[in-house]
Each structure stands twice: as structure tokens, then as C-alpha cells.
Amino acid sequence: MLTPTLVYLLSALCVRYALADVQPFTSYANDFVDPDYIVAGNFPDTTGEAKASIISWADRFASTGPWTVTSKPFAAPSGDKKDYMSWAPYFWPDCSKVGNTTALTTEEVWTKCPYVNRDGQFNPDRLTINDIGAFFNVSDAILYNALAFSFEDKPSSKYSQNIVKIVNAWFLDSETGMNPNLNFAQMHRGPGGQVGTHTGILDLKGFVKVVSGILILRKRKCTDWTATIDAQLVDWTKKYIEWLETNQLGIDECASGNNHGSFCFNQWIALKLLVNDIPGAVSVGNKFFDGIYQGQINSTGDQPLEASRTHPYHYRNYNLAAMITNARLLKYADPTSNPWNKTTKADATLKDAMDMTMTVNPDASGEGYAVAEIFPNIAAVAATYGDPEGKYVAFLKKTFPEYASDASFLWDQPLAGGSAVRTGSNGTNSKNATGNGVSGALLDRRVGATQAVGFLAALLFAVYLH
């Protein structure tokens, strides 16, 4: 459960962020951006502000990366810092039966004291080891840098060079590269603990964003993305796929019926695309839509497995983002497929789930702070199914008036809104620059408002790990 203190803290942080005039940033729960659409570059003129946001986010990330699993202060129980590690966030030590606890070192607490689950209460020490936050940044940085690269009409740029640095540091470098396993993700501590749990697979859901970015580099024949680095990443990914498909943790996670399973499939399909196994991607995509998807949306468009959770508004949108991402991945892998019209066993589609979720009042479950989570889902659904009655755009205009300056407005098209603006820097596709100029101040104001919404969403996504 999210305590009132935490809610207060989140709101305070958001306000501070909005006022501090930092770069705007939205970390979507997940998304797959079709590289063919990006490479074609025929973006509507109205996407100028979205492009400007993307470029500023790409720059901001590039200035703080790259990230490594080896920068954490403690090694995984294997003794190897190259093993990814995170701690189950709701588990707390109970040292009452361990004797003189003041004499225990921090590391002795982890191994000697039994850990108990206090559902919804975050153990603050979970961020002592922040491989998860680092990977969120890796995945967002790769996506935004690839998009920024695609706006320039050249085979090499600082953005593509950034991606090479990030990929090398996180995955490939012999000193810092992550081992291709999640043996210690959302690990349980205590005697008999020190083992990862299947829920930890969720930590790497952002792999979809990594794959979107790399596919853009490949398709644009980026000269920084050499055959050598491509082969090395493919080799790494094949090993990780083998782990995911054969380790019990991976098997259990993709078999989960709820959002955990949906996000596990996000990764799994995307990984197949990365290793150029298109039939594999299609087969895994169909496995999702013929499998757990069947039980995820009922005849009223609700998602019973999410509606029963402590934060039903959040979880409905969280799983919608994962289902939408699976649909985008499958449609890309097999353009003849029809995941958007695929019905569950209760005869409902993704659109039914969206339409139902739009009727839910987040305040009814005390989740007014989570309202922003719905917005990328609505944009995706409106762009895909069309919006003949204008109800999706009406909702966006009312609830998120600045939606056209969010990054997703670039690829959630066609979607009404935005205006033909030139951003002044390279925010406009050089091959298709039209429209009137807009002052920098106006742009900053627009972006600033989105940032408050976006940053709130980003925080919430980062906070809800289960």
C-alpha cells in the first residue's frame, strides 16, 4: 500500500521537479516504437514539440550515463558484481531472535535475520542497490538517443555514439558487462534466502525500449552500430533468452496470468526480434494472445486480475501498457496478424479494456495521484483504432492538455492535437520541416507542464514494482 507519507513525498518531489526547470522526462511503463515508422520519417508537422522533448531527454540521459551493474556497492551472493541484483522491496529484517543485533554488520543482517513481507511497505534500503534504476535509465536513454539520431540525416551522430557507449558499458565490456541472467533479481534475504524470485524478471521489462532503439540504428544503417557490436549484443541476448526460457524463474514469470506475465512476454518477444528470430517473435507473440491474454479482460472490459489489487487504477493501466506493447510487437513481427482485434475468452478486445478503464475514477480507490498513467494508453489506442467520435482526444485535452509535447505523440499517430511548430533546434525532421516558428519561451512552458505529469508517471512506474 502507498502510505500517505509516501504520497506526500511523491507530490512534493513532483512540484519541486516542475519548479526546478529540469529537463522534462517521461518513462513509460513500456512501449514498442515501430522502427519502420521512425525510419520513414514522415511525421506529421504537429509533432515538433514531441521531437523537442525527445531531443532534450536524449541529451539529459547522455550526460549522466553510461550505467553499469558493477557500480553497485555490494556484489550479488555469487560474489560477482556482474550479476544483476535487486532486493524484494517489501521485505524487512526481523532480528529479534538473533541475539545482540547492535553487533551485526549490515551484511550480517542480510544473511542472519529472517525477512518478513510487509506488503506495500517499501524497505528504504532497497535502493542501496539500484541496478533496477540504472536499467530503467539504460532503456530510456537508448530509446530517446535512437529517436534523436533518426531526426538527423546522417549515418553517425553524438546520439548513436551515446548508444554504443551505453550498450558497451551495460552489456558487453569484459569488466563491467552484466552476466546474462537474473538469478538475483528481487532477491529474498535472510538465512535460507539469497535467492532471486521470478517477480524480479519484471526489472528488465524495458528491454523493449532497448530493442526499439537498436532496430532503428540497424535500419538507418548507422555506421557507429558496427557489425561487431551488433554480433556481440546478439550473442549476449541469445544467452539471456536461453536463461529466460530454461530457468525456473523465467518460466514461472511468463506463466503468471497478470501484468507480470504480460510484461514478461514484452521482453521475450522483443528479445527474439533483437536476435533476428522473426518466426520466434511471432510464435511467442501468439503464445501470449492465445494464452494468458485470454483470461485478462472480461466481458465488461475490466481486468479482474488487476482490479483485485490494492491499487486497481494503477494496475489496470500498467497491464494495459504491457498488452498494448505485446500487440505492437506482434503486429511488427507479423504484419498480417491482428492482435488489436483479438478477443479474450470473454469476447473482449484491448479497446474494450481501454474504454472501461476510462470510466474508472482514480479517486474512488484513493489513486488520484496515478491519473497520468492512463494517458499513453489512450494515445496508443486512439492512434491505432481511430477516434471517429473524438472521445479519446476530448479526454486527453481535458486531462492532459499538453499531451502533444510528450514524446509518445511522435509515434502515437495519427492523433489530433499539437500544432505545426518549428522547434528552433533539430526538433523538426529536416526532410519535412514546415510550419511556423514558436518562441523558445512558449515551448519551455509547454514542455514544463508535461514534465510535471510525466515525472509523476515516471516516479509511479519506478515505485510500483509488483
Ligand X SMILES: *[C@@H]1O[C@H](CO)[C@@H](O)[C@H](O)[C@H]1NC(C)=O
Per the CB < 8 A criterion, the answer to whether 334 and 343 are in contact is: no
Residue nearest to ligand X according to CB distances in the complex? 133
Tell me how far, at minimum, the Cβ of 241 lies from ligand X, in Å: 25
- Pattern of binders to ligand X over 293-322, x per CB under 6 A? -----xxx-x-x--x---------------
Size, binding site for ligand X by CB under 6 A:
33
Residue with Cβ nearer ligand X (192 or 390): 390
Q: State the nearest-atom distance from the C-beta of 231 to ligand X, in Å.
A: 28
Least separation in angstroms between residue 43's CB and ligand X is 6
For the bound state, the minimum distance from the C-beta of residue 15 to ligand X, rounded and expressed in Å, comes to 17
- In the set 121, 130, 294, 337, which binds ligand X (CB under 6 A)? 130
DSSP 125-184: GGGGS-HHHHHHHHHHHHHHHHHHHHHSSSS--HHHHHHHHHHIIIII-TTTPPPS--TE
Interface characters, 227-266, with ligand X (x: CB under 6 A): ----------------------------------------
Under the binding rule (CB under 6 A), the answer on residue 44 touching ligand X is yes
Q: Exposed, middle or buried by CB within 10 Å (0-12, 13-18, 19+), for 439? A: exposed
Tell me if 385 contacts ligand X by CB under 6 A. yes
Closest distance between ligand X and the C-beta of residue 426, in Å? 4
Beta pairing class for 184-187 and 85-87: parallel
Q: Which of 384, 405, 408, 451 binds ligand X (CB under 6 A)?
A: 384
Classified as helix, coil or strand, 188 is: strand
Cα 372 from chain centre: 15
| Least spacing, CB of residue 306 vs ligand X, in Å | 9
Does position 60 interact with ligand X (CB under 6 A)? The reply is yes
Q: Is 67 in the site for ligand X (CB under 6 A)?
A: yes
Measure the CA–CA gap between 406 and 277, rounded to whole angstroms.
32
Nearer CB in complex with ligand X: 187/327: 327
Dihedrals phi, psi of 73, to nearest 5 degrees: -75, -20
Decide: is 391 part of the binding site for ligand X (CB under 6 A).
no
Residues between 408 and 437 with contacts to ligand X, criterion CB under 6 A: 425-426, 430-432
Residues 150-169 that bind ligand X (CB under 6 A): 152-154
Element (H, E) at 422: strand 421-422
Residue 330 cell numbers, joined: 506482434
Among 2, 14, 134, 244, binds ligand X (CB under 6 A): 134
340 binds ligand X (CB under 6 A): yes
For residue 205, CA distances in Å to 27, 88, 199, 376 come to 12, 16, 11, 17
Closest among 410, 462, 452 to 432, alpha carbons compared: 410
CB atoms within 10 A of CB 444: 15
Please give the Cα distance from 295 to 303 (Å, whole number).
8
User: Which CB sits closer to ligand X, 184 or 244?
Assistant: 184
Nearer to ligand X, 69 or 244 (CB): 69
**Which CB atom, from 123 or from 232, has the smaller least distance to ligand X?**
123
Nearer to ligand X, 24 or 250 (CB): 24
Q: How far apart are alpha carbons 102 and 398 in whole angstroms? A: 55
Calpha distance 142→214 (Å, rounded): 8
Give helix 350-358 / helix 375-385 axis angle, nearest 10°: 130
Contact between 135 and ligand X per CB under 6 A? no
Contact between 3 and ligand X per CB under 6 A: no
| Nearest-angstrom CA–CA distance, 111 and 108 | 5
Q: Name the residue nearer to ligand X (CB basis): 227 or 441.
A: 441
Contact between 137 and ligand X per CB under 6 A = yes
Binding site for ligand X (CB under 6 A): 42, 44-45, 60-61, 64, 67, 100, 102-103, 130, 133-134, 137, 152-154, 298-300, 302, 304, 307, 338, 340-341, 384-385, 425-426, 430-432
